[in-house]
Amino acid sequence: MNLFISSDIEGTCGIAHWAETELGKPDYEPFRRQMTREVAAACEGAFAAGCEDLLIKDAHDSARNLIPAELPERVSIFRGWGSDIHSMMSGIDASFAGAIFTGYHSSSNTDASPLCHTMNLDNVSIRINGIQASELVINTFAAALYDVPVLLVTGDLGVCEQAKRLCPAIYTVPVSRGCGNGSISIHPAEAVKRIREKAEMAVADGIAHPEKFAVALPNNFDVEVEFVKHNRARRASFYPGVKQIGPRTVRFSSDAYYDVLRFFMFCL
């Protein structure tokens, strides 16, 4: 059983400020290490449940956050960006039996985290068929393109609740919850413990009952993006198939999610 892990940082236990997520900032190192510990815990749980190989996509900002030497020796790590439509899911294909998302966070236009956003800080809202789209939603659909089910999501409470709405079978580990411009989190060591335990449970369940984790892709996709600045909407309106429907809002529709990912790549 081969697994894919997409690892973000804003949903890492304890994070409450952008300075704790940015390479080179003084506050970054402790949270980079916690991010790495949480990914390692997910790997260890997966291996204990029978996983044979793991590919980890470092999926935040520089994509050079995880500390490779502190991860299990059996994993492979995709650092840097692949410059392809899969973005945070670069490396995904049909060979994987399941996916795990660690350190994920709530979407833009919500109040579940002080670091709420979707893909970048240039948009107010992204909706897919009326659903407020987080990176969780975008990447779960990307995995579904290859019939890869998401088994476990860790991060803030808001994104964990959204994972359950998307697929009730998905295991979750909420490590923090937003509170205004701050967050309330569990202890970092407790987060690592819970992630390791839930990863083993999720992967074992995924091996035994993969069908219950399946997320069916819609037959068509109606995507609306509201940008922070009106010039971004005008720029996106020149992408084939995009219609500007407001000063800061564009719409794109397609029957193929691959096309939606391509729209995101060039317009977000």
- For the stretch 127-155, pLDDT in tens is 999 999 999 999 999 999 999 999 999 99
The DSSP code for 216 is P
pLDDT at 85: 97
Share of the chain above pLDDT 90, in %: 100
Q: State the pLDDT confidence band at 183, using cuts at 50, 70 and 90.
A: very high
DSSP tag of 125: E
**Residue 259, both tokens:** 């096309």
Closest C-alpha among 102, 215, 100 to residue 156: 102
Chain segment 14-64, per-residue pLDDT in tens: 999 999 999 999 999 999 999 999 999 999 999 999 999 999 999 999 999
Per-residue burial over 60-78, b = 16 or more CB atoms within 10 Å of its CB, e = otherwise: beebebbbeeebeeebebb
pLDDT at 46: 98
Could you give the CA distance from residue 237 to residue 189 in angstroms, rounded to a whole number?
A: 47
The pLDDT, as a whole number, for residue 150 is 98
* Average pLDDT score over the chain: 97
Predicted pLDDT at 205: 98
Q: How far apart are CA 39 and CA 166, in angstroms?
A: 23
Rg (CA), the chain: 18
Instruction: Record the pTM.
Output: 0.97
With a CB cutoff of 8 Å and minimum separation 6, the contacts of 42 are 5, 100, 102, 152, 154, 195, 196, 199
Cα distances from 94 to residues 49, 145, 148, 224, in angstroms, run 20, 9, 7, 28
Are 138 and 147 a contacting pair, CB within 8 Å? no
Q: Which residues pair with 222 in a beta bridge?
A: 253
Which pair of tokens denotes residue 73?
A: 């020796």
Measured in degrees and rounded to the nearest 5, phi and psi for residue 44 equal -60, -40
Instruction: Copy the structure tokens of residue 32.
Output: 């980079």
In sequence order, which residues have a C-beta less than 8 Å from that of residue 15 and are 6 or more positions away?
9, 21, 31, 115, 176, 183, 185
The C-alpha atoms of residue 86 and residue 68 are separated, in whole angstroms, by 22
HSE-up of 118 (CA within 13 Å, CB side)?
29
DSSP-assigned states of every residue in 162-184:
HHHHH-TT-EEEEEEEEETTEEE
Length of the chain: 268
